[in-house]
């Protein structure tokens, strides 16, 4: 009798568990919104749309990119932080709104710990770009002009606290010069002003200038980029070492683990695919997949490093 009772109890438990599993909708059960915190048309936007299309195909529901640009990415990340943590609102973005802006912007509607990083997809290298007709034939020409006209050499970037901004300021500090940033909502918005000559140079991702007739004076990082082997790296000039743009997929904090797992596995497969790699390489980017644990650890390190750099540069929260 005891054995029969135990068997009945086990059968009931299995039935209840199966019913509960069947009652849980498979993720995703509806379209997913992916926030793009920078202007449409730039390199990070193109990659976000490629990632969204691949996730749509792999997970069987539309992943739709929605532009929420402005305030150097703070508007989009603010919307993400306030979204319901159910897996149906994500962001595909450089990490700067999460790692840099908390050090620079007062009253942000979020902090570093407001998000759940899902995966790193690629690294974005930044550069100084000028028109082919620019009098700046080499970086030294630009620095000499900035030294002769303190604060009157204007450059465009994605805004306060972005890697393009911090990269130029670190280079300027190393060279002992002062230049003035003109902020834009992203590379796509800035480039027309560079191409029209309204700003002297652009601090821009090399993924955003693919196919454009621009001359690079320097790439920011500790090594030359294979796409532009003749262009010096900023480390050769004594500037502070900066990480490249760490681009990935983010969710609001509190998103359930099974949903994060599904998205992480999808990212891993997509990052390893020939089609995605070809898309990144066409934009002069670097495919650099990291899983949740590794990406989160790298972001924590970058957050702390950016805090130190911002203090060294004398930039104060606004």
230/134 same-domain check:
yes
9, 167, 182 from 136: Cα distances, Å: 81, 18, 19
Q: How far is the C-alpha of 290 from the C-alpha of 273, rounded, in Å? A: 15
Which residues, given as ranges, of the chain have pLDDT below 70? 1-24, 240-241
Q: How far is the C-alpha of 73 from the C-alpha of 159, rounded, in Å? A: 9
166/66 same-domain check:
no
pLDDT score for 235? 87
Residue 16 lies in a domain: no
Residue 250 lies in a domain: yes
User: What are the CB-based long-range contacts (under 8 Å, 24+) for 253-261?
Assistant: 253/81, 253/85, 253/113, 253/114, 253/115, 253/116, 254/85, 254/116, 255/85, 255/86, 255/87, 255/116, 256/85, 256/86, 256/87, 258/27, 259/27, 259/86, 259/87, 260/87, 260/116, 260/118, 260/292
206/263 same-domain check:
no
Q: How far is the C-alpha of 50 from the C-alpha of 54, rounded, in Å? A: 6
pLDDT score for 293? 98
My answer on whether omega of the bond before 314 falls inside 30° of 0, hence cis, is no
115/102 same-domain check:
yes
Residue (of 49, 103, 62, 105) closest to 310 by Cα position: 103
Which tokens sit at 126?
A: 């930044």
R_g (Cα) of the chain, nearest Å: 23
pLDDT score for 286? 82
131/216 same-domain check:
yes
60, 217, 294 from 223: Cα distances, Å: 40, 14, 23
Got the DSSP string for 188-251? HHHHHHHHTTSSSEEEEEGGGSTTS--EEEEE-SSS--TTSTTSPBGGGGTPPP---EEEEEEE
Q: Give the end of a domain, one of 218, 237, 256.
A: 237
130/119 same-domain check:
no
Residue range of the domain that includes 38 = 32-123+244-312
Q: Give the end of a domain, one of 206, 237, 268.
A: 237
CATH number at residue 148: 3.40.190.10
Which residues fall within 8 angstroms of residue 98, CB to CB, at 6 or more apart?
77, 112, 114, 115, 250, 299, 303
State the first-to-last Cα distance of the chain, in angstroms, to the nearest integer: 75
What is the value of pTM for the model shown? 0.85
């Amino acid at each position: 009798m005891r054995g029969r009772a135990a068997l009945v109890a086990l059968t009931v438990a299995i039935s209840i568990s199966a019913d509960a599993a069947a009652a849980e909708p498979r993720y995703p059960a509806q379209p997913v919104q992916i926030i793009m915190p920078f202007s449409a048309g730039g390199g990070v936007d193109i990659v976000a749309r490629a990632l969204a299309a691949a996730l749509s195909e792999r997970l069987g529901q539309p992943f739709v990119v929605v532009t929420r640009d402005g305030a150097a990415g703070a508007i989009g990340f603010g919307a993400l932080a306030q979204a319901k943590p159910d897996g149906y609102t994500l962001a595909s973005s450089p990490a700067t709104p999460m790692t840099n802006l908390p050090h620079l912007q007062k009253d942000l509607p979020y902090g570093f710990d407001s998000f759940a990083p899902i995966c790193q997809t690629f690294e974005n290298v930044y550069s100084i770009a000028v028109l082919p007709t620019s009098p700046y034939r080499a970086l030294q020409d630009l620095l000499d002009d900035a030294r002769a006209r303190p604060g009157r050499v204007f450059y465009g970037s994605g805004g306060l606290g972005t890697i393009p901004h911090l990269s130029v300021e670190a280079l300027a500090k190393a060279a002992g010069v002062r230049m003035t940033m003109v902020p834009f909502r992203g590379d796509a918005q800035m480039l027309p002003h560079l191409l029209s000559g309204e700003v002297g140079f652009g601090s821009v991702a090399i993924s955003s200038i693919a196919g454009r007739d621009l001359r690079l004076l320097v790439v920011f990082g500790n090594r030359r980029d294979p796409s532009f082997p003749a262009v010096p790296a900023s480390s050769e000039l004594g500037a502070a070492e900066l990480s490249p743009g760490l681009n990935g997929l983010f969710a609001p904090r509190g998103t359930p683990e099974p949903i994060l797992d599904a998205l992480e596995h999808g990212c891993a497969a997509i990052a390893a695919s020939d089609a995605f790699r070809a898309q990144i390489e066409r934009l002069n980017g670097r495919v650099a997949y990291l899983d949740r644990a590794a990406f989160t650890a790298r972001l924590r390190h970058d957050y702390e490093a950016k805090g130190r750099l911002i203090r060294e540069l004398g930039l104060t929260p606004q």
